[in-house]
Structure 1
């Protein structure tokens, strides 16, 4: 694709614009903002870095993911050819240009600070991208300047851009992108190739776009096109087969577009085939086949065994890798490589990894400038040498270490797993505020994506719900609900040890939540003859969402089912995605029995939330919805709570999981590292913070060493690596500053690795749940100590409590006045009502007072 028409220069206020900007190409980030902006960018976004003269290690910027860096002439000379020229952009003003033209042969691009439209041709250079940075840009003039300067790229500060319409002060992002686009068609439409980001082997189809459809696609992040017969075509608006937009690009002539999308639902083509150009082939076809078999392969089949027996799959990958290494002829190499790719892709699919994820990893590796020696790991070198010496005998690889905290873990060694570090006292107020930021969550865009799903359930009821359960959960059900009595899981399904663990967790959680229940009304005599009271009543019908499918989460079922049971809710509807055979996990089924669930809804995602909110012929409508879920579930909850027709509440706003650990000199590095990692393994967007109180460099180094060692011993090491990479160590010099930072951050989980930790709890103002002392890991609260693990995230611990018994109840007040009480209070009420001009209010008291006088 050609260079983008503009490049956004990010400032500290740019977070709301980043989702739209990331669709159109790279963004330019000043190095001083890099740590704050990167966690907020979509994972697929590319970026350039504007280096500063104080930057010491420019190569590390390229190694860590920057597509290109913008450098000064002095920095370019310091690099002295150590970085690929195509990754370097030289920044010059007009005065420097004449004396620095000889430097252009060492770079792939030049930033020219100038208000004059310029191209590489007018500069007299070739093979160099030109980026124009105007000194005083006017939003109204920029579209024409962008158009005149193509193929040069304009650098626009995000302070001038908006997702709304262009005005005197702001330029619409869509208008900036559309400025150079031309059409040679009489109807003015632009041919648009739609490509699946999951399958790069073949495009989905060819459609058309208009300026209106492109603008809406950019602003909503969805596939929106222009039908030549019916106007705007919002893909999936009626079918639910929506497209999540990943990127929009131009061809070299700026007259055709490429939309890269994630296709959800039944697909793109109106015919029963993968694309408008026929079915997929090669690796893409194999990937689709493996995905289908993951969901539907019969128990006991070979494919099912590959997905459920890690040892079998590991053995096959090792076997096929060795056979590929032993192959000699062209035919043998192709045959054995195909076998290895089959089993390697089965491993990927079993772990939720797509071919696009693999390609993204390759792209990321290709960005590295620094290279390792590339030598094989010793155990494999020794294995080959022994095989050669033994004339073909195979030596089995060493087994993975099984110590709780191994000293090394070479199988996953890909560089140390480290957090970022900041010294709080060295930062000004604005820099300290950046440490409190979480990733930007584009909730409005997600709500737009779930609207068609919610509306389908609302309009079609059970039929729509069954159709989407078949589409998304791969389960073809005659009914989506299950009523008690529920079948008791067998010993083979639910071993005695698991049942006992669930029983213990249930007992502890129930004991703690029973203690929260109000046992008698609050009664207050505010004055003689006037008695006011407040009493509690359960919310009659509640829905509890338990994520499922490939996951098994009995802990969430306990944390939501127990307080609903203790609160004596009349109806408890537990929603959880079914497995392909229509069943749900025996662990969740057992908890449903324990907690008195009155109905199980076998559905997941936004469609389950919609069924709970509006009800169907089969599914009871609920009054409040609880529970965690992915971004689709969260967006659906936010949507229905604001719909007056649904008349439903939700528990709290949701975001990625969080932990903040405060540690002093008494903290065990092993314990601290394990607590940080227990949260980091949730997902790559998990928020992990360590506040270190006057720790020595050796103490901090040991904590970081333990993070690296323990992370490499985890099966979810790749997830932990990405989470830790975005995580933070904040150095402070005393306890009070640590507590102040924590209260500002308001973490979901707060762990106190402190001397006399219990005495510090009284200083905590904002946290979802606090874990006090070295022997109180967050895991206990997540599962079985008794407290609830459904907690506020994203800083909402400032305003919200975690789920508790009162979350499933409501308070009603009452007042009872005697005749004497009304005689005393009545004149006050009349006076206030008259003052407000509400004569009927005053009259309701006057007529009673008059009767009492009669």
Structure 2
């Protein structure tokens, strides 16, 4: 057990600036009158005591989180059931007649001159007021650890001690002693869950700076003051600083950011984290980059599945009897429960703090189970008793549905009892006030994601190539010596890239290039706005662009084509293609081949937020770009949004991104098999894909045929589990006529719009909002995704209302110019002068006046 506090700060209304430093060192003493004002500003890790007054509800204060209360003698009878270690008696003077058995200490609110020998008052800890003691004298007294001083914050400072103010760092250091010749203090650095990260050393200087900044700062025996993470970005937020029982060593409890504490690729200087902390680290990593279709990804995306698994494992734990079986089932329950915690941004240390807060309660609930659980268990037990021939297994708490079968990592086919089908609504029966809910996509907390990617982006920004290499190893498991590959790129071997695949890429490249070349402006726009005044606009390529191609183990040459071709056609001088490397550090031969075709000038072997940061800020090896294009997961999207708003980066992005989506409009002329295939081609992208069918005057039989085809085709897909989850969340909107269907579509503004309609070509004129339109039964979305010629990088989440898909002009900017003759200025000048005068901008007006004067014109 560590040494108790040698001083406790009594908070006053002016103490806000000191609280972060004081909270590191032990409890804060809050007057009851300030409790409600101060508590909201405290971190969840700060501990506090309460100085009660006559109006204080002592039991409520203790239940709400106060570790101790300082109370008057007449209040003792109100807390008879409270453990003595939670109570300190407030005395005006020493009174030997008082029974102190029900308290842990006494607070003497006077200018006491008690010596250390006199403070063992009946074996209780003594707390003395230090309000009227001079600061230098008080600093000497703090070296006596038998007494704890209550010091008002008006008397404290983070600076040096003066006659009137006591230094907080000096007060903390006063009772410490070092048995080392160099005067340093051995320091254990620990996580908030008490796992040791490493052993370091501290000095008076490093401790002082750590207290003032609340950052991990230590004393290197070789290099002097060591500000942890100053160069690596792996900084530490200090949560608490404690001395041990002998006052000769320290414990820093920290939140470690970045890769870890050790200089080796491991979490701690003693190896990897274990147990719950190791599981938490794994789950946090899987939340960022779990592949689509993996079981963990499915758990994060499907709250119903996760809820079912938690209840299932809790039931199995209750049924377990043997020691090993109980441990095994508890481990399963912890896995699923912690998965839910991580999905909600809750860490294990938050759970531990909640446990600590619960332990502070002095009144307890009765503790009976809620009626619904009592009924379930009673019912289950009655079932098992009535069927003695069966093994005694409790009925599942989720009896309405069969417990879901885990999704295979590759999303491969499994058997399903229930039909794979979409939810159906009839638009005319939905009130206008509720129709907007049909337009909603999953809510992505972009601000929370930006906070998560910020440390990654900052690390690359500060450390450059070194940080990028480290993050590539951390996230992509690729040990590289350089993240950059420059041309000429090697030609993939036939064994890696067969002729038929190469031919398919060539055809797709040719078609996409033809369409994007046609978009390029052939010359400047020139307009004679009035005699002698010529205005023009001309296009210039964005000089340096970055294109992000998701990958790693995936193969996505289509995205490389869709981004590389318009950059090439636009004439961009530098094209940086970023894609995650495979574990061996290589790039997929398909992407490498497209890079050769499209004239990519640099391949960045990195993915995620770190790739975005490298392109946005540049490193010694990675060229800085002016605009970043391409799809990616929520980490990539958040990083793009972050750097776009950083004026130091001066980088643009293509558009906001979200899960892929399709809206199909079908009438009675549609082929149910074709419609189903289009719905499923989008549903297999991911469990968060958005799939909507607008059924225009479809008969019940026709709609049933589509639903049957969806179920049958889905079961035949390798990624059936992914499609099934997407379809479950998808909608069939029944409408009475085409006009109603098109109004809904334009409000929804889909990424992909497929028209399975009679005379579909004529309906295109009614499309106001869509990323790309697929016209008629023979135009599957797949063709646009790969090889028809249009671009598949399209606006999602309803952004098709204001954004276009990526095109040649996306990689260019337009510059305007104007040229006036003297006659043109004579004609236009007076108008400009009048408007400038009206706005009070005489400098503008004068620039015209001097020219008119030179022409002999009065103005």
Q: Would you say 1:660 and 2:663 are equivalent positions?
A: yes
Say if 1:807 and 1:360 are closer, same or farther in 2 by CA, change over 3 A.
Answer: closer
- Take 2:620 and 2:258, find their aligned partners in 1: how far apart are those partners? 25
Which residue number corresponds to residue 55 of structure 1? none
What is the root-mean-square deviation in Å for CA atoms of aligned residues?
4.4
Are positions 1:475 and 2:478 aligned together?
Answer: yes
Query: CA offset at residue 239 of structure 1?
Result: 6.9
Structure 2 counterpart of 1:670, from 668, 673, 678: 673
- Aligned with 2:501: secondary structure? helix
The 1:745/1:642 distance shift into structure 2, 3 A limit, reads same
Q: 1:825 to 1:236 in 2, by over 3 A?
A: same
1:369 counterpart = 2:369? no
2:65 alignment counterpart: 182
- Aligned residue runs from structure 1 range 186-197, under 5 A: none
Q: 634, 639, 642: which is aligned to 1:639? A: 642
Q: Deviations over 1:436-465 (max 9, x none)?
A: 111111000000111111111111111111
**Pairing partner for 1:698 from 680, 698, 701:** 701
Q: Distance in 2 between matches of 1:681 and 1:543?
A: 28
Taking the aligned partners of 2:403 and 2:573, their CA distance within structure 1 comes to 66
- What are the Cα deviations for residues 260-287 of structure 1, in whole angstroms up to 9, with x where unaligned? xx99964699998778998688999999
Q: Who is 2:425 aligned against?
A: 422
Secondary structure in 1 matching 2:433: helix
Mapped contact 1:265–1:471 kept (Cα < 8 A)? no
d(CA) in 2 for partners of 1:822, 1:492: 69
The answer to whether 1:626 aligns with 2:629 is yes
- The answer on 1:206 being equivalent to 2:193 is yes
Q: Does 1:512 align with 2:515?
A: yes
Is 1:792 matched with 2:795?
Answer: yes
Residue 647 of structure 2 corresponds to residue 764 of structure 1 = no
In the alignment, is residue 729 of structure 1 matched against residue 732 of structure 2? yes
Which structure 1 segments of 5+ residues have no match?
1-142, 145-177, 190-202, 209-226, 244-261, 293-333, 346-352, 375-408
Cα 1:360–1:845 change in 2 (3 A) is closer
Give the 5 Å matches for 1:102-501. Answer: 181-184=64-67, 206=193, 231=214, 266=259, 368-370=398-400, 411-501=414-504
8 Å CA contact retained: 1:422, 1:731: yes
Q: Which string of whole-angstrom CA distances, capped at 9 and with x for unpartnered residues, describes residues 305-351 of structure 1? A: xxxxxxxxxxxxxxxxxxxxxxxxxxxxx9xx9xxx9xxx9xxxxxx
Q: Is the 8 A contact 1:549 1:577 kept in 2?
A: yes
Equivalence for 2:851: 848
Q: Residues 784 and 231 from structure 1, CA distance in 2 versus in 1: closer, same or farther, beyond 3 angstroms?
A: same
Q: Distance in 2 between matches of 1:661 and 1:595?
A: 33
Question: Radius of gyration: which is bigger?
Answer: 2
TM-score (normalizing by structure 1): 0.58
Compute the displacement of 1:414 (Å): 3.5
Structure 2: how far apart are the matches of 1:764 and 1:242?
Answer: 52
Distance 1:836 1:288 in 2: 60
Shift in Å, 1:368: 2.7
Cα distance in 1 between the residues matched to 2:436 and 2:230: 40
Equivalent pairs counted in the alignment come to 544
- CA contact 1:205–1:275 (8 Å) conserved in 2: no
Task: From the superposition, tell whether residues 525 and 780 of structure 1 become closer, same or farther in structure 2 (CA, over 3 Å).
Answer: same
Superposed displacement of residue 291, structure 1: 14
- What residue is the counterpart of 1:171 in the other structure? none
Match of 2:581 among 578, 597, 612: 578
Mapped contact 1:552–1:588 kept (Cα < 8 A): yes
8 Å CA contact 2:413–2:717 kept in 1: the answer is no
Q: Do the aligned partners of residues 671 and 749 (structure 1) sit closer, same or farther apart at CA in structure 2, a change above 3 Å counting?
A: same
Q: Report the Cα distance in structure 2 between the residues aligned to 1:722 and 1:267, rounded to whole angstroms.
A: 36
How has the CA–CA distance of structure 1 residues 410 and 530 changed in structure 2, closer, same or farther, with 3 Å as cutoff? closer
**For structure 2, which runs of at least 5 residues remain unmatched after alignment?**
1-35, 38-60, 71-84, 87-189, 196-209, 217-227, 237-254, 286-321, 344-394, 405-411
Matched residue SS, 1:524: strand
Over 3 Å counting, the alpha-carbon distance change for 1:839 and 1:610 in structure 2 is same
- Deviations along 1:564-623, one digit per CA (max 9) or x if unpaired, are 000000110101111121111000000000000011111111111011111111111111
Q: TM-score, normalised by structure 2?
A: 0.57
In 2, Cα distance between the equivalents of 1:429 and 1:701? 27
Alpha-carbon distance change, 236 to 737 in structure 1, aligned in 2, over 3 angstroms: farther
Give the superposition deviation at 1:358: 12
| CA distance 1:677–1:359, change in 2 (3 Å) | farther
Shift of 1:715: 1.5
Aligned to 2:110: none
Cα displacement (A) at 1:370: 3.1
- The Cα shift of 1:413 comes to 2.1
- The change in CA–CA distance for 1:841 and 1:759 in structure 2 (over 3 A counts) is same
Secondary structure in 2 matching 1:645: coil
User: Matches of 1:785 and 1:749 in 2, distance apart?
Assistant: 14
1:679 aligns to what? 682
- Cα offsets for 1:403-436 (capped at 9, x unmatched): xxxxxx9942231111111110001112111001
